[in-house]
Chain A
Amino acid sequence: MAETMRADAGRSRGPKASKDELLGYYRQMLLIRRFEERAGQLYGMGLIGGFCHLYIGQEAVVIGMQAAMAEGDQVITGYRDHGHMLACGMEANGVMAELTGRSGGYSRGKGGSMHMFSREKNFFGGHGIVGAQVSLGTGIAFANKYRKNDAVCVAYFGDGAANQGQVYESFNMASLWKLPVVYIVENNQYAMGTAVQRSSSETHLYKRGVSFNIPGEEVDGMDVVAVREAGRKALARARKGDGPTLLEMKTYRYRGHSMSDPAKYRTREEVDEVKAHRDPIDHVKALLIELGHADEEALKEIDRDIRAIVTASAEFAQQSPEPDAGELMTDILVGA
């Protein structure tokens, strides 16, 4: 926790964002928040099965990064992926219907919460094996360099995955070959129930690239504009052919690791403290009002829009039929 607070120091004093930008970030972050709240509700109703990892609290990370990315850049992440998909522009309906395991889902009900993809939106998943997406994302960056297509892959992983060996195997190759990739550690302080200090000999995760000559930066992951600025620098560096950057986003997840988290590893007060003082959406909201970009009524209007989208997605996710039994044996091999 102390680490998160320290990152707070320069908050919102840095680069400014325009009115339209801030309104956009507010809307997109709110969409993720309301979507996830509804997903939690549907899970409680038994409409979503298996594992369900909510992104609530971390919204500024993906929205800030998305604001920095260019058309054609790719995203890959782990299993806490609903926010990333919405940030990439994937439809709330398709994501929610995948959560409920319906034919209208992005993977037609065959992937679930942790495994969704959109070729169209350059979203490469959604991976359930901790750390796998780092090697895969490095491969996507390899393909970018191979094809000289000027695209950069943004590979997200958590503080838990930061202790997986393949992350460092990937760092080594990416730096050696100057691959166009940006590594984002979303440090939400807990790998399931294990606090960073209990799992990592070096808790400043942005330093984890040092022995591979990968520059690292600690970023306030609760400040969307700070994220965007750090992302812009890292993306430009990658695009220029100078190789990967490691950005450590200091963030926090409000909900449990998954829906079945007993939450014995942290106090209620700790969570409330972050919610009260560091919430990324409240932060933008305050900025909008302070700068005179919007009043309470205008923001409520956005809120109503978002609720309508989320309600419609929940409706769609329940109405969409379960996949046909014939789907069982499709998509195993191409052309088979």
Chain B
Amino acid sequence: MSLQILMPALSPTMEEGNLAKWLVKEGDAIAPGQIIAEIETDKATMEVEAVDEGVIEALLVPEGAQGVKVNTPIAELRNDDTASPSPLRGGSAAEPPGRGADVTSADSPPVAKTDPSPARPPPPTPSPQGGGGLSADPEIPAGTQMVKITVRDALRDAMAEEMRRDRDVFVIGEEVAQYQGAYKVTRGLLEEFGSDRVVDTPITEHGFAGLGAGAAMAGLKPVVEFMTFNFAMQAIDHIINSSAKTLYMSGGQITNPIVFRGPNGAASRVAAQHSQDYSSWYAHVPGLIVIAPYDAADAKGLLKAAIRNPNPVVFLEHEMLYGTEFEIPDVPDWIVPIGKAKVRRVGRDVTITAHARMVGFALKAAELLAADGIDAEVIDLRTLRPLDTATVIESVKKTSRLVTAEEGWGRMGVGAEICAAVVAEAFDYLDAPPTRVHQIDSPLAYAANLEKLAMPNETNIVEAVKAVCYRR
């Protein structure tokens, strides 16, 4: 019988990849464990091993093919041992063809498929930029050329540009150098700046966070990468007690110009210990600056601003956005000011606040609501500390309704803080109780359906907006 070899998913968040190289040809007999192809993802180039033995009947996807979706059949294998038709990965011809596809869609994050397009900044038309309610961007000068770049590369470029500019800037963390970054965010930095400035550490979060904080006290400007912020809990003492408080405790003598950065929040199917949003944890602490960008322009412009800032900055990235492409102004030194929210969509009827990945959901929700005749204003908070409440309050004074959206738990959260600020300063303008959208109040489950149920998305935002608008 004949088996199909499918494009494998090589990481929890991979949706497609490039078939870089075939290491077998049609007619070759292959054995389990044999490397048959090299597949390139945005994170790494990986080898694919055969699981079954048989003879390659046909290569269905040519070498060099780009953007091959996970579970696409890439080869046909003839296998006469009909007794053991096991799949090469995730699904096989022995199973109904539809099955593999279902598994893929459950595997992948619930909304990532719809995420990038509506949120993409408009093309570089002089002004007003964009349409469909997307707001003009006063930060981008008229006539600026825009280029497409992933959030991942925008972050890398930010670090590289600042390292070129200032020799005191260095990057330190696990797998940042030779491995090129666990999520490839530091790709190429070792080659350009050398191992003195791009420093691989042992797996020792508490230790290297403290080392970074100490180096900052001595005047260097470390960029400390946590492989994820989940692991930074081992180091949180240094982030808070050593970095955030020392300026105060030293009566202004000892500064801590350090950036703690890395992916924050849920990835996909990695369960509770690897899926936590720390936005409100760090935003609670005086002495820290906390930034959580959404698109590539903010990722780059805010990271550059963070590295130049003389204070400790917690820079929360989102793994699910690393591979997303956005347009970014093609200017030599793109800086975005810290502490300023951005109105990403102008609307009259309701204010939606969001940060990081939730901005994409909020913009998607706004599109859906527009079809229902509700004109939503979407505010990307961008910086959580200091929080730009003035922009939110100004918006609510216009719309009289507020929905906050965040990926983390709601209790004591970012939304709670915004609601309190709005109630305190715009109470008389409100036509409905402010409402929060957030993750449900449980550790995040592994099972695909439970994970999906727990995480907030555009549907939750649409429902919350309809509730505050008293629509159904």
The one of B196, B207, B250, B286 in contact with A170, judged by C-beta atoms closer than 8 angstroms, is B207
CB–CB A132/B251 < 8 A: no
The one of A132, A137, A142, A332 in contact with B247, judged by C-beta atoms closer than 8 angstroms, is A332
CB–CB A106/B251 < 8 A: yes
The residue among B210, B241, B246 with the most chain A CB atoms within 10 A of its own CB is B210
CB–CB B242/A124 < 8 A: no
Contacts A111-B251, A132-B238, A333-B287; A125 near B220 (Cβ below 8 A): no
Residue numbers in B under 8 Å from A253 (CB-CB): none
Considering only CB atoms, which chain B residue lies closest to A103 in the complex? B251
Number of B positions contacting A (CB below 8 A): 40
Residue numbers in B under 8 Å from A336 (CB-CB): 311, 386
CB distance from B263 to the nearest CB of A (A): 22
CB–CB B215/A107 < 8 A: no
Contacts A132-B242, A135-B213, A334-B311; A115 near B255 (Cβ below 8 A): no
CB–CB B287/A332 < 8 A: yes
Residue numbers in A under 8 Å from B220 (CB-CB): 142-143, 146-147
Number of A positions contacting B (CB below 8 A): 48
Contacts A132-B237, A138-B214, A144-B218; A110 near B242 (Cβ below 8 A): no
Tell me the chain B residues, 200-215 only, with Cβ under 8 Å from chain A. Answer: 201-202, 204, 206-215
Contacts A143-B220, A166-B206, A333-B287; A135 near B214 (Cβ below 8 A): yes
Tell me the chain B residues, 215-267 only, with Cβ under 8 Å from chain A. Answer: 215-220, 237-238, 241-242, 246-255
**Does B392 sit at the interface, judged by CB under 8 A?**
no
CB–CB B210/A138 < 8 A: yes
Tell me the chain B residues, 277-314 only, with Cβ under 8 Å from chain A. Answer: 286-287, 289, 310-311
The residue among A119, A143, A333 with the most chain B CB atoms within 10 A of its own CB is A333
CB–CB B248/A117 < 8 A: no
**Does A335 sit at the interface, judged by CB under 8 A?**
yes
Report the bound CA distance from A135 to B149 in whole Å. 37
**Does A256 sit at the interface, judged by CB under 8 A?**
no
**Does B361 sit at the interface, judged by CB under 8 A?**
no
The residue among B206, B207, B218, B287 with the most chain A CB atoms within 10 A of its own CB is B218
Considering only CB atoms, which chain B residue lies closest to A148 in the complex? B196
CB 8 Å contact bits of A90-130 with B (1 = contact, 0 = none): 00000000000000011111110001111100001111110
Tell me the chain A residues, 128-168 only, with Cβ under 8 Å from chain B. Answer: 128-129, 132, 134-144, 146-147, 165-166
**Does A258 sit at the interface, judged by CB under 8 A?**
no
**Does A20 sit at the interface, judged by CB under 8 A?**
no
**Does A173 sit at the interface, judged by CB under 8 A?**
yes
The one of A106, A109, A146, A166 in contact with B210, judged by C-beta atoms closer than 8 angstroms, is A166
**Does A74 sit at the interface, judged by CB under 8 A?**
yes
Considering only CB atoms, which chain A residue lies closest to B219 in the complex? A143
CB–CB A170/B210 < 8 A: yes
CB distance from B86 to the nearest CB of A (A): 44
Report the bound CA distance from A295 to B252 in whole Å. 45
CB distance from B466 to the nearest CB of A (A): 40
CB–CB A170/B211 < 8 A: yes
CB–CB A143/B214 < 8 A: yes
Tell me the chain B residues, 11-52 only, with Cβ under 8 Å from chain A. Answer: none
CB distance from B74 to the nearest CB of A (A): 43
Report the bound CA distance from A58 to B23 in whole Å. 69
The one of B204, B242, B248 in contact with A127, judged by C-beta atoms closer than 8 angstroms, is B242
Residue numbers in A under 8 Å from B246 (CB-CB): 115, 117, 125
**Does B183 sit at the interface, judged by CB under 8 A?**
no
Report the bound CA distance from A117 to B218 in whole Å. 12
CB–CB A331/B217 < 8 A: no
Contacts A169-B206, A169-B207; A125 near B250 (Cβ below 8 A): yes
CB–CB B201/A139 < 8 A: no
The one of B202, B219, B311 in contact with A172, judged by C-beta atoms closer than 8 angstroms, is B202
Considering only CB atoms, which chain A residue lies closest to B286 in the complex? A332
Residue numbers in B under 8 Å from A312 (CB-CB): none
The one of A76, A128, A140, A331 in contact with B248, judged by C-beta atoms closer than 8 angstroms, is A331
CB distance from B87 to the nearest CB of A (A): 43
**Does A5 sit at the interface, judged by CB under 8 A?**
no
Considering only CB atoms, which chain A residue lies closest to B208 in the complex? A173
Report the bound CA distance from A209 to B253 in whole Å. 33
CB distance from A169 to the nearest CB of B (A): 3
CB–CB B255/A136 < 8 A: no
Considering only CB atoms, which chain B residue lies closest to A122 in the complex? B218
Residue numbers in B under 8 Å from A106 (CB-CB): 250-251, 253
CB–CB B247/A333 < 8 A: yes
The one of B210, B251, B252, B310 in contact with A136, judged by C-beta atoms closer than 8 angstroms, is B210
CB–CB A139/B214 < 8 A: yes
CB distance from A68 to the nearest CB of B (A): 21
Residue numbers in A under 8 Å from B237 (CB-CB): 129, 132
Contacts A173-B207, A333-B311; A139 near B250 (Cβ below 8 A): no
Report the bound CA distance from A144 to B215 in whole Å. 9
Contacts A74-B218, A129-B241, A140-B217; A110 near B206 (Cβ below 8 A): no
The residue among A127, A137, A142 with the most chain B CB atoms within 10 A of its own CB is A142
CB distance from A213 to the nearest CB of B (A): 14
**Does A330 sit at the interface, judged by CB under 8 A?**
yes
**Does B409 sit at the interface, judged by CB under 8 A?**
no
Report the bound CA distance from A147 to B219 in whole Å. 10
Considering only CB atoms, which chain B residue lies closest to A331 in the complex? B252
CB–CB B214/A136 < 8 A: yes
Considering only CB atoms, which chain B residue lies closest to A127 in the complex? B242
Report the bound CA distance from A143 to B237 in whole Å. 21
Report the bound CA distance from A331 to B247 in whole Å. 6
Contacts A132-B237, A143-B215, A173-B207; A119 near B254 (Cβ below 8 A): yes
**Does B170 sit at the interface, judged by CB under 8 A?**
yes
Report the bound CA distance from A260 to B214 in whole Å. 31
The residue among B208, B217, B246, B251 with the most chain A CB atoms within 10 A of its own CB is B251
Report the bound CA distance from A141 to B250 in whole Å. 20
Known A-B contacts: A136-B217, A170-B207. Give 4 more (CB < 8 A). A136-B211, A143-B218, A144-B218, A331-B250
Chain B residues in the interface with A (C-beta under 8 A): 170, 196, 201-202, 204, 206-220, 237-238, 241-242, 246-255, 286-287, 289, 310-311, 386
List 8 tightest A-B contacts by C-beta distance, closest first.
Answer: A139-B214, A135-B210, A169-B207, A136-B214, A143-B218, A108-B251, A107-B251, A139-B211
* Selected A-B contacts with CB under 8 Å, 28 pairs: A76-B214, A106-B250, A106-B251, A107-B249, A107-B251, A117-B251, A124-B218, A135-B209, A135-B210, A136-B211, A136-B213, A136-B214, A136-B217, A139-B215, A140-B215, A140-B218, A142-B220, A146-B196, A169-B210, A170-B210, A172-B207, A176-B202, A331-B250, A333-B247, A333-B287, A333-B311, A334-B310, A336-B311
